[in-house]
């Protein structure tokens, strides 16, 4: 079983740069079974990027996905109108939710695009859509046993436990401790989980104060559940929109003092629940807190990628922020965001004092924003945050080349 995070932010999306390392999209989680069954948990704004990735993966082949919604607050459903695979004929999507009549579930989902909230309604979607109520009994989806349990949240919410491929993954978000019934419910859900993704939007202090009754939890309660129920790995999730990267780092650090196998959920992070261990691949500040220094520096950057026909294409832009493992740069509007990009940086002699130095590296885009223009470029551009995957190495300096 593989678990990939496409949106980890709570309440509303954020675009501030200080939040980019963990990500600003609202909840969306992809689960892939060993038999390639696709399961989607929640449809926040992260669903949009996931849809683009899926289209690139499947191409002209039809696809099917099973979508499980925890509840219907905006941050958990707002990505549905922007999920491009829903518009493609031949695709099939099975929506599941708890305690909703079949017609009510359909009306709730389709109401997202009703007049005057969206320019087209769901009749514009070519993909098949099916709607199913979930009761108290577990359901079997192509070998995955999926159990739901009620959580303590205004207007109701459920958590999900997925047992498949001899592993257990649990999502328990939008839940507040303090209700004995719901506290027992979430603990039963988390029993012996290989991975528990848990709502940690607030600090324990805020939960006792101004945020009491808002329906969210803390790192401390997540750690308590993990310790009591034999959880192997804990991921703190549903970050508050006002919690920047440094603040989330501090929450992860506190949690690790009591439960070392704790990770801060970040967009692009992947968990492979393989035999004997849980490993992480992705943007993965969770492997270690981002302690490396970051540098604000504007350098020319050349980008190379492949078009749909496999032909190499290129473009130019400027860097803005560089660390040992990540880079932010301004790129052409047509830069693809679902593939590795080769970057070539030019570091001038003014910095190296030994001639212009060109450095090549491979990078994977993990988040982006639309820019209307920069000081160096007119017209629409992309601001891209990327993970550095491999350092190809420096080329010869201009002085060395000329000698």
172 and 101 part of one domain: yes
59 and 96 part of one domain: yes
Q: Where are the beta strands (DSSP E) in 243-311?
A: 262-264, 270-274, 277-281, 295-296, 300-306
Q: What is the CATH number of the domain that holds 332?
A: 2.30.110.10
150 and 246 part of one domain: yes
Q: Which helix (H) or strand (E) holds 7?
A: strand 2-7
323 and 200 part of one domain: no
DSSP secondary structure string for all residues of 311-371: -EEEEEEEEEEE-SSEEEEEEETT--SSS-EEEEEEE-HHHHSSS-EEEEEEEEEEEEEEE
- Among the candidates 287, 305, 323, a domain finishes at 287
Which stretches within 234-286 are classed as H helix? 245-258
Count structural domains, the chain. Answer: 2
96 and 57 part of one domain: yes
State yes or no: cis peptide before 270, omega within 30 of 0.
no
Give 71's pLDDT tier (boundaries 50, 70, 90): very high
254 and 375 part of one domain: no
Query: Scanning the structure block, which residue is given the tokens 């649990």?
Result: 170
- pTM, entire model: 0.72
Q: Which pLDDT value is given to residue 68? A: 98
pLDDT per residue over 252-263, tens digit each? 999 999 999 999
312 and 278 part of one domain: no
Q: What is the CATH number of the domain that holds 264?
A: 3.60.15.10
Q: Which pLDDT value is given to residue 348? A: 82
175 and 246 part of one domain: yes
192 and 319 part of one domain: no
The CA-atom distances, in angstroms, between 257 and each of 125, 260, 261, 269 are 48, 6, 10, 22
* Integer Cα distance of 318 and 301 in angstroms: 5
Q: Which residue has the higher pLDDT, 245 or 368?
A: 245
Q: Which pLDDT value is given to residue 383? A: 83
Beta carbons of 312 and 351 less than 8 angstroms apart: no
Q: Which domain holds residue 236?
A: 2-287
Mean pLDDT of the chain: 87
Q: Which residue has the higher pLDDT, 66 or 339?
A: 66
Give 288's pLDDT tier (boundaries 50, 70, 90): very low
Query: At a CB cut-off of 8 Å and minimum separation 6, what does 226 contact?
Result: 190, 196, 198, 234, 259, 261, 262
300 and 281 part of one domain: no
251 and 346 part of one domain: no
pLDDT per residue over 173-231, tens digit each? 999 999 999 999 999 999 999 999 999 999 999 999 999 999 999 999 999 999 999 99
Q: Which pLDDT value is given to residue 402? A: 44
Give 103's pLDDT tier (boundaries 50, 70, 90): low
pLDDT per residue over 20-56, tens digit each? 889 999 999 999 999 999 999 999 999 999 999 999 8
pLDDT per residue over 347-390, tens digit each? 887 776 777 888 888 888 877 777 754 444 455 688 888 877 65
Q: Which pLDDT value is given to residue 162? A: 98
- Among the candidates 252, 287, 322, a domain finishes at 287
- Among the candidates 257, 287, 317, a domain finishes at 287
97 and 134 part of one domain: yes
């Amino acid at each position: 079983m593989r678990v990939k995070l496409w949106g980890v932010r709570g309440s509303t999306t954020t675009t501030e740069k200080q939040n980019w390392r963990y990500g600003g999209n609202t909840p969306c989680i992809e689960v892939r079974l060993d038999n390639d069954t696709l399961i989607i948990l929640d449809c926040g704004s992260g669903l949009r990027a996931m849809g683009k990735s899926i289209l690139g993966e499947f191409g002209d082949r039809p696809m099917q996905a099973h979508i499980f919604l925890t509840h219907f607050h905006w941050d958990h459903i707002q990505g549905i109108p922007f999920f491009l695979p829903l518009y493609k004929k031949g695709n099939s999507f099975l929506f599941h939710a708890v305690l909703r009549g079949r017609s009510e579930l359909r009306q709730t989902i389709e109401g997202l695009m009703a007049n005057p909230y969206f320019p087209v309604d769901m009749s514009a979607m070519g993909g098949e859509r099916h709607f199913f109520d979930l009761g108290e009994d577990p359901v079997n989806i192509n070998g995955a046993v999926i159990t739901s349990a009620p959580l303590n949240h205004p207007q109701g919410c459920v958590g999900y436990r997925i047992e498949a491929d001899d592993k257990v993954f649990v999502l328990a978000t939008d839940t507040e401790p303090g209700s004995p019934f719901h506290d027992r419910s979430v603990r039963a859900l988390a029993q012996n989980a290989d991975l528990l993704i848990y709502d940690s939007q607030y600090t324990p202090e805020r939960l006792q104060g101004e945020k009491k009754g808002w329906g969210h939890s803390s790192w401390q309660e997540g750690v308590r559940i993990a310790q009591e129920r034999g959880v192997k790995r804990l991921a703190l999730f549903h970050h508050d929109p006002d919690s920047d990267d440094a603040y989330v780092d501090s929450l992860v650090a506190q949690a690790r003092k009591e439960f070392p196998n704790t990770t801060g959920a970040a967009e692009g992070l992947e968990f492979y629940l393989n035999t004997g261990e849980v490993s992480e691949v992705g943007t993965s500040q969770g492997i270690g807190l981002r302690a490396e220094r970051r540098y604000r520096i504007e350098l020319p950057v050349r980008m190379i990628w492949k078009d749909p026909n496999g032909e190499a294409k290129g473009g130019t832009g400027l860097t803005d922020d560089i660390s040992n493992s990540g880079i932010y740069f301004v790129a052409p509007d047509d830069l693809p965001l679902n593939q590795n990009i080769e970057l070539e940086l030019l570091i001038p002699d003014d910095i190296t004092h030994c001639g212009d130095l060109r450095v090549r590296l491979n990078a994977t885009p993990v988040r982006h924003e639309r820019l209307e223009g920069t000081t160096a470029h007119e017209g629409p551009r992309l601001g891209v945050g990327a993970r550095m995957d491999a350092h190809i190495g420096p080329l010869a300096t201009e002085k060395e080349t000329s000698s």
